[in-house]
Amino acid sequence: MTFLEEYKYPIIGGIIGAFLTLLIFTIGFWKTVLLLILIVIGALVGYYIQKSGIIEHLKNK
């Protein structure tokens, strides 16, 4: 088992943490929080659209 396979999730977590730190230092804490909230909302809307099949239904018309 290689190092990357063994420590996959801690490495991903470290990269995400470094990215969030960079965002907080460059654009500020509250703008970073707002950005993360909007990303989560967008992901949830995309997930709902994919699961409901709205786009496929509209394409088939």
More confident residue, 53 or 19: 19
Which has the closest alpha carbon to 20: 36, 44, 9? Answer: 36
Q: Where are the domains positioned within the chain?
A: 3-59
pLDDT digits (tens, 9 = 90+) for 13-32: 999 999 999 999 999 999 99
- What pLDDT score was predicted for residue 30? 97
Distances (CA, A) of 18 to 25, 29, 42: 11, 14, 22
- Helix, coil or strand: residue 50: helix
Q: Please, are residues 23 and 32 in contact by the beta-carbon 8 Å criterion?
A: yes
